[in-house]
Each structure stands twice: as C-alpha cells, then as structure tokens.
Amino acid sequence: MLDQSFLVRGPRVAVRRISFQDREEIAALTRESAALHHPWIPARDTTEEAFRAYVAKFDQPTHEGFVVCLRESGAIVGGVNINNIVRGGIQSGALGYVAYATTTGHGYMTEGLRLVVRYAFTELGLHRLEANIQPGNVSSVRLVERLGFRLEGYSPRFQYVDGAWRDHERWAVTAEMTEQAAGSDPR
C-alpha cells in the first residue's frame, strides 16, 4: 500500500521519500511544469540515468529527498529536498522545493513543506533550515513567509540558474521559531 510509506501526514497531503519508481510520474509533471519552474530552478534532467543519479544522492547522510502526495490518491503534487546537511554544532540544511503546474496554488506545498520542516526538526534532529530564493520569486517568498521563516540576508551571485549566477535572499527558520509559533505544543 502506498499509504504505508508515508512518513508524515497532514489533512490533505502526506510526505514520503522519493524513489526511482517515481521517475515516470515526476518526468511527466516536470515536462508540463516548465513554465512554472523557469527561471527559478535549474532545468531538470529526468532521463533514466540522470534520475537514478539524482535519487542516489539521497543515500548520503547529507541529503534527504521527499515527495509531497495527495493523501487520498497518492498522486505527487510536489517535491522537497533538504540539501547540504551539516551535523555537529550546526545541524542545518538547505531546502529545495517544487510544486507542479496542475496542482499549484491550492496550498498543498504550504502543508507539505510544513510537514517536512517539522519532520526535520523532530525525526532528523536538525535545528535550522534555510531557503535561498531569487528576489523576484514571489510565490516562493510567500510560501516561506507563511511558514514563519525570517529573512537573514542577501547572497550576491549565489547560484547558477538559467545561464547566469543569480543573487538570492537567504530565508531561514530554526526549531525554536516553529515551537513558538505552535504555542505550548511543538508538534
């Protein structure tokens, strides 16, 4: 059963780890979402070889890869990665996330990313998550604002996207911030 692989569930979506078996579904979603994703994230190669290498990255302790699915059908509506995880006295990682064209704008990513943030701070033992966002990416900024991230700073020429080194804003949330937002119950 699909349901048994979910790590966390919200009212409408649930989150599980990405696997190679997701390739065809994600390839189709990625193709139909080219206009949504451009120019905010690097173009994605979903050929068999490239996708195998992509999911293999999540075998390393420095990377976690998740898909956000509708609870009822299991259909994939988004993806969230935690990249470049640093342990020790830092306990931090960098988020990457995407919605897909047919299901964007329904609040699924808000719910899914909130679930991943909570999972990261509880089950994965992380303390801080950052999201590096191009200043014009209004939907992405609104998403992290809704989840209580704060603007930490500005990183000129931070990431190579769409043929150039792009400036990014650095947004972040720490475990204490989510606990405060949830009042006395951090879950």
Ligand X SMILES: CC(C)(COP(=O)(O)OP(=O)(O)OC[C@H]1O[C@@H](n2cnc3c(N)ncnc32)[C@H](O)[C@@H]1OP(=O)(O)O)[C@@H](O)C(=O)NCCC(=O)NCCS
> Which residues contact ligand X by CB under 6 A?
36-37, 40-41, 97-99, 104-110, 131, 133, 137, 139-140, 142-143
Cβ 181 to ligand X shortest distance, Å: 16
Q: With respect to ligand X, which residue has the nearer C-beta, 87 or 182?
A: 182
Cβ 88 to ligand X shortest distance, Å: 26
Cβ 182 to ligand X shortest distance, Å: 18
Q: With respect to ligand X, which residue has the nearer C-beta, 122 or 137?
A: 137
Distance of CA 27 to the CA centre of its chain: 17
Query: Using an 8 Å Cβ cutoff, are 173 and 149 in contact?
Result: yes
Q: How far is CA 109 from CA 13, 47, 48, 116, 159, in A?
A: 9, 25, 26, 10, 23
Give the residue at shortest CB distance from ligand X.
Answer: 107
Q: How far is CA 161 from CA 62, 100, 116, 134, in A?
A: 22, 19, 25, 10
Cβ 15 to ligand X shortest distance, Å: 14
Helix (H), strand (E) at residue 160: strand 150-161
Beta bridge partners of 80: 66, 97
Of 122, 186, 105, 103, which Cα lies nearest the Cα of 148?
A: 186
**Residue at 142: amino acid letter:** R
Cβ 103 to ligand X shortest distance, Å: 7
Q: With respect to ligand X, which residue has the nearer C-beta, 48 or 65?
A: 65
Q: With respect to ligand X, which residue has the nearer C-beta, 66 or 108?
A: 108
Q: With respect to ligand X, which residue has the nearer C-beta, 49 or 131?
A: 131
